[in-house]
């Protein structure tokens, strides 16, 4: 019953390529950000955070 989930082999090659295209401004897919208010400051924290 315990099967390991495996990622496709092409993913290791596609990931850096997609990141490089996105840094150049090419839009791939839909990007969604979740805004969560903080407990103390109530300021919006975006997830995933892009640093």
Position 24 scores a pLDDT of 93
pLDDT score of 1 more than 70 = no
14-49 burial: b if 16+ Cβ within 10 Å, else e: eeeeeeeeeeeeeeeeeeeeeeeeeeeeeeeeeeee
Position 29 scores a pLDDT of 79
* Confidence band for 31, pLDDT divided at 50, 70 and 90: low
Which sequence spans correspond to the domains of the chain? 11-47
């Amino acid at each position: 019953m315990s099967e390991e989930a495996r990622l496709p082999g092409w993913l290791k090659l596609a990931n850096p390529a997609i990141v490089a295209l996105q840094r150049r401004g090419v839009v791939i897919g839909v990007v969604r950000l979740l805004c969560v208010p903080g407990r103390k400051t109530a300021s919006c924290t975006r997830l995933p955070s892009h640093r």
